[in-house]
């Protein structure tokens, strides 16, 4: 938006204040206070059921909040929703849907199109560029059910790129992808960051987490820690995030040891 | 066999309806086509959203709407029916949502609870008042397409205008002397079908993305909840316009059969929508002649013909068809891959 990189007056891309979300009276997120600065690649780390997906859904205004608020670029989410791009968990959609890879990526352009407007040549060009970036252009005309899991993930990423948003939420984009796809996705995340986009990425693998992300958000119902990776990726913090689950803990110990 | 099936006569069962019988044939066939088109187009989205049963639910709870309307107003004119049915349809949707969201009952069970209770309420209300108002429950459930050609609408034209109209094709269907006569139900259903087609065209993007990925729709500024309720409202309108002629139960078939057939034949939504309309046209024509031949329920014949087309599509579909499968298995010949890439293409 701004011509000179860091605009002093622009509010932070994402702000949570005293956010509490509950399903059936059972709190899943409790008292979340966060301010995510612009141009950050943030990894969200936490055990299964920690509320990572819930945090993303709450940030996008998809869930009723029990208390607190979320602001996107200083405004309620409703006002700035079009500045938000979204990569859902892959299982959240029906892959038998009768659309092609190109159709799915073009959906990312819908936010830029008015009522009754069909995607223009320019939209198609953008979609094609995005597919090229994730190396899926040869598959553009495939029916989406004929894709492997990693290819589906790339299509979702291409669609998010086509949205041309300022802030991205990605729920486990690395789940079930091979090493080549994983490094391709990481490259794209870093490119987006270089363009000043803010990215929040749910990630499960601790050893790679400390490589991929500038900052980490350790989450388990509450914010255990949020800050630069080297400050937050500490044994005791990870231990309290994963709350004494042995298998994870040994993994954590190993990851921390590797680091030092 | 001979007692069961009357002899098929090309002249009598296929030609005659379009010559001597054209007056009623055209109205009936148009009605069937409009119903199947409106239902089929909407039904596609129900199939995509795995909500096929919601169509079932709404078509049954319409009876509750009619019941309430009868008790409150003792009237059965078209606007009252429309509003009542619309309210019933939305109430069903809402009840399903509420049960599903606030209890541990799953969506399919919630559908089962919502429509059976509303249907039962409808049965009670209508049976309470059945002495005062005449409602043919048989007609509500099974419909009566044969009654459609009743040309209740009549407009006198000036002789000059009538002369001009007389030159239009098939004027014998809608011109009696100087009077323009029409079957109002068919005209109304035509408008409903046209409205559905227009709405599907106008809101193509919104319907597509909110059916595929509601969360993405939201991040694009499309409110998937509003789309959901709008779809249900439209469904209620379509169901109430259709059930008089094909009946509440057969509406369900009309909602699912055309779309399901089209899904077998293509994996592209625009093509599927076009095939749905084709299925509606063919199914209606075949069904009409089937009914003429067997002298049976026309609505029933529409559905059986639609089912026949579904089976044909299943047999012949280029991708999933039984013949294609069989052919592929007989001629299984794999070509060696040109190059091994890092991500091998999956699927077939
Ligand atoms: N729709 C729902 N209804 C009720 N409870 C839910 C719902 N969605 C999530 N929960 C509960 O909320 C908690 C947090 O879920 P969430 O999906 O946010 O976890 P997560 O951190 O994304 O986990 P994972 O790593 O397994 O994806 C879980 O305990 C889950 O049982
Ligand atoms: Mg999750």
For ligand 1, atom 1: residue with the closest CA? A23
More reliable by pLDDT, B66 or A72: A72
Please give the interface size between A and B, counted as residue pairs whose CB atoms are below 8 Å apart.
Answer: 96
pLDDT of residue A2: 41
The predicted-structure confidence for B39-63, as pLDDT tens digits, reads as follows: 999 999 999 998 888 888 888 887 7
Within 8 A of A93 by CB-CB distance, chain B residues are: 212-213
What is the distance in A from the centroid of ligand 1 to the CA of A50?
7
| Contact between chains at A81 and B267 (C-beta distance less than 8 A) | no
More reliable by pLDDT, B137 or A205: A205
More reliable by pLDDT, B93 or B142: B93
Is the pLDDT at A126 greater than 90? The verdict is: yes
In order of their start, the domains of chain B are: 28-148+183-261 (1.10.3470.10)
| Contact between chains at B48 and A98 (C-beta distance less than 8 A) | yes
| DSSP H or E segment with residue B297 | none
Ligand nearest to the Cα of B104, by number: 1
Q: Does B221 touch chain A (CB under 8 A)?
A: yes
Q: Does B48 touch chain A (CB under 8 A)?
A: yes
pTM value is: 0.83
Q: Does B80 touch chain A (CB under 8 A)?
A: no
Name the nearest CA neighbour of A138 among A101, A87, A90. Answer: A101
Instruction: Tell me what percent of the residues of chain B surpass a pLDDT of 70.
Output: 85
Name the nearest CA neighbour of A84 among A11, A5, A143, A170. Answer: A170
Is the pLDDT at B246 greater than 80? The verdict is: no
What is the distance in A from the centroid of ligand 2 to the CA of B94?
28
Q: Does B101 touch chain A (CB under 8 A)?
A: no
More reliable by pLDDT, A183 or B334: A183
Q: Which residues contact A17 (CB under 8 A, 6 or more apart)?
A: A33, A68, A69, A70, A71
Which of B203, B205, B213 is nearest residue A93 as measured by Cβ atoms?
A: B213
| Contact between chains at B215 and A61 (C-beta distance less than 8 A) | no
- The strands making up A222-228's β-sheet, listed across from edge to edge, are A84-87, A167-170, A198-202, A41-45, A215-220, A222-228
Within 8 A of B212 by CB-CB distance, chain A residues are: 93-94, 97, 99, 104, 107
Instruction: Tell me what percent of the residues of chain A surpass a pLDDT of 90.
Output: 52
| Residue A172 to chain B, least CA–CA distance (Å) | 15
Q: Cite the beta strand spans of chain B per DSSP E.
A: 153-156, 175-176, 179-182
Contact B47, B212 (CB under 8 A): no
| Contact between chains at A116 and B212 (C-beta distance less than 8 A) | no
What is the distance in A from the centroid of ligand 2 to the CA of A43?
13
Taking the CA of residue A89 as reference, the ligand 1 atom at the shortest distance is 27
What is the distance in A from the centroid of ligand 2 to the CA of B227?
26
User: What ipTM, to 2 d.p.?
Assistant: 0.83
Is the pLDDT at B292 greater than 60? The verdict is: yes
Please, which pLDDT band fits residue A255 given cuts at 50, 70 and 90?
low
Q: Which residues line ligand 1 (CB under 6 A)?
A: A 23, 28, 46, 48-54
Is the pLDDT at A260 greater than 70? The verdict is: no
Contact A193, A42 (CB under 8 A): no
Least confident of A243-247, B49-53, B157-161, B274-278: A243-247
Name the nearest CA neighbour of B302 among B59, B34, B86. Answer: B34
Within 8 A of B347 by CB-CB distance, chain A residues are: 145-148
Q: What's the whole-number mean pLDDT along residues B256-280?
A: 94
Is the pLDDT at A6 greater than 60? The verdict is: no
What is the distance in A from the centroid of ligand 2 to the CA of B228?
25
Please, which pLDDT band fits residue B107 given cuts at 50, 70 and 90?
confident
Ligand nearest to the Cα of A28, by number: 1
Is the pLDDT at A32 greater than 80? The verdict is: yes
Task: Please state the domain extents for chain A.
Answer: 14-259
Which of A84, A103, A146 is nearest residue B346 as measured by Cβ atoms?
A: A146
Contact B66, B87 (CB under 8 A): no
| Residue B62 to chain A, least CA–CA distance (Å) | 30
The predicted-structure confidence for B76-92, as pLDDT tens digits, reads as follows: 666 777 788 778 888 88
Least confident of A126-140, A232-246, B198-212: A232-246
Ligand nearest to the Cα of A63, by number: 1
| Contact between chains at A98 and B267 (C-beta distance less than 8 A) | yes
Is the pLDDT at A1 greater than 50? The verdict is: no
What is A14-259's CATH number, 3.60.21.10, 3.40.50.300, 1.20.210.10, 3.40.80.10? Answer: 3.40.50.300
Mean pLDDT, chain B, rounded, equals 82
Within 8 A of B45 by CB-CB distance, chain A residues are: none
- Kindly report each contact of residues B16-24 with a partner whose C-beta sits within 8 Å and lies 24 or more positions away, as own/partner: B17/B288, B17/B289, B17/B292, B22/B170, B22/B172, B22/B173, B23/B149, B23/B172, B23/B173, B24/B149
Which of B216, B220, B346 is nearest residue A147 as measured by Cβ atoms?
A: B346
């Amino acid at each position: 938006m701004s011509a000179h990189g860091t605009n002093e007056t622009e509010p932070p891309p994402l702000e949570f204040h005293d956010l509490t979300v509950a399903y059936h009276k059972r709190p899943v997120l409790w008292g979340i206070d966060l301010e995510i600065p612009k141009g950050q690649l943030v990894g969200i780390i936490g055990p299964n059921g920690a509320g990572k997906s819930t945090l993303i859904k709450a940030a996008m205004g998809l869930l009723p909040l029990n208390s607190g608020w979320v602001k996107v670029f200083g405004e309620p989410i409703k006002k700035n929703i079009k500045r938000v791009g979204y990569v859902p968990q892959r299982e959240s959609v029906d892959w038998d849907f009768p659309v092609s890879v190109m159709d799915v990526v073009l959906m990312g352009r819908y936010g830029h199109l008015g009522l009754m407007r069909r995607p223009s040549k320019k939209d198609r060009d953008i979609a094609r560029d995005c597919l090229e970036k994730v190396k899926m252009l040869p598959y553009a005309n495939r029916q989406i059910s004929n894709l492997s899991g990693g290819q589906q993930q790339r299509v979702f990423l291409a669609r998010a790129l086509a949205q041309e948003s300022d802030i991205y939420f990605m729920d486990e984009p690395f789940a079930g992808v091979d090493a080549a796809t994983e490094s391709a996705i990481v490259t794209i995340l870093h490119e987006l960051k270089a363009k000043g986009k803010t990215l929040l990425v749910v990630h499960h693998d601790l050893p790679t987490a400390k490589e991929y992300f500038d900052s980490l958000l350790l989450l388990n119902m509450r914010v255990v820690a949020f800050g630069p990776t080297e400050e937050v990726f500490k044994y005791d913090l990870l231990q309290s995030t994963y709350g004494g689950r042995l298998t994870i803990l040994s993994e954590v110990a190993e990851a921390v040891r590797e680091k030092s | 066999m001979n007692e069961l099936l009357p002899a098929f006569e090309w002249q009598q069962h296929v030609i005659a309806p379009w010559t001597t019988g054209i007056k009623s044939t055209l109205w009936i066939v148009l009605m069937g086509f409009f119903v199947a088109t409106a239902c089929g187009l909407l039904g596609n989205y129900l199939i995509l959203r795995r909500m096929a049963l919601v169509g079932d639910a709404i078509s049954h709870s319409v009876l509750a709407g009619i019941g309430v309307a009868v008790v409150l107003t003792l009237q059965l004119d078209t606007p009252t029916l429309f509003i009542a049915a619309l309210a019933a349809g939305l109430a069903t949707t809402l009840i399903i949502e509420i049960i599903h969201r606030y209890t541990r009952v799953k969506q399919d069970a919630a559908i089962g609870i919502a429509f059976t209770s509303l249907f039962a309420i409808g049965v009670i209300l209508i049976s309470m008042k059945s002495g005062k108002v005449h409602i043919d429950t048989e007609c509500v459930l099974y419909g009566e397409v044969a009654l459609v050609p009743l040309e209740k609408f009549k407009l006198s034209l000036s002789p000059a205008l009538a002369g001009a109209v007389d030159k239009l094709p098939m004027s014998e269907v809608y011109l009696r002397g100087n009077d323009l006569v029409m079957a109002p139900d068919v005209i109304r259903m035509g408008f409903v079908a046209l409205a559905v087609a227009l709405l599907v065209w106008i809101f193509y993007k919104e319907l597509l993305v909110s059916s595929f990925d509601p969360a993405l729709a939201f991040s694009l500024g499309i409110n998937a909840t509003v789309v959901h309720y709008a779809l249900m409202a439209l469904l209620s309108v379509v169901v109430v316009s259709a059930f008089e002629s094909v009946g509440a139960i057969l509406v369900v078939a009309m909602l699912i059969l055309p779309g399901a057939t089209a899904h077998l034949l293509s994996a592209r939504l625009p093509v599927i929508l076009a095939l749905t309309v084709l299925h509606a046209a063919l199914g209606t024509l075949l069904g009409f002649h089937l009914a003429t031949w067997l002298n049976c329920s026309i609505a029933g014949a529409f559905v059986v013909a639609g089912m026949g087309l579904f089976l044909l599509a299943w047999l012949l579909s280029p991708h999933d068809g039984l013949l294609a499968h069989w052919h592929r298995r007989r001629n299984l010949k794999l070509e060696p891959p040109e190059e091994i890439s890092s991500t091998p293409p999956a699927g077939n």
